[in-house]
Amino acid sequence: MGTTVYNAAAFAAESAQHEPPLSWWAAVVVTFVAIFLLAAVLALMTRWERKRHPHV
């Protein structure tokens, strides 16, 4: 009995229509936000490092 229920559940899961987790435009937005955040973090780290070790 358990195997039949499992097979039915597996068949239902496989045949269900799945939406992609993100649409293409959402993926583009997330990518650009991630790039912007990385650039901001690198800029802040550079400023902090130059404060610690100023060029003479």
pTM here is 0.56
Within-domain flag for 46: yes
Number of domains in the chain: 1
Which has more pLDDT, 12 or 30? 30
Which has more pLDDT, 11 or 49? 49
Signed CA dihedral, 7, 13, 14, 16: sign only: positive
Q: Which domain holds residue 39?
A: 21-56
Within-domain flag for 25: yes
Q: pLDDT at residue 1 above 60?
A: no
Within-domain flag for 39: yes
State the residue for tokens 């496989």: 14
Within-domain flag for 15: no
pLDDT digits (tens, 9 = 90+) for 20-51: 778 989 999 999 999 999 999 999 999 999 99
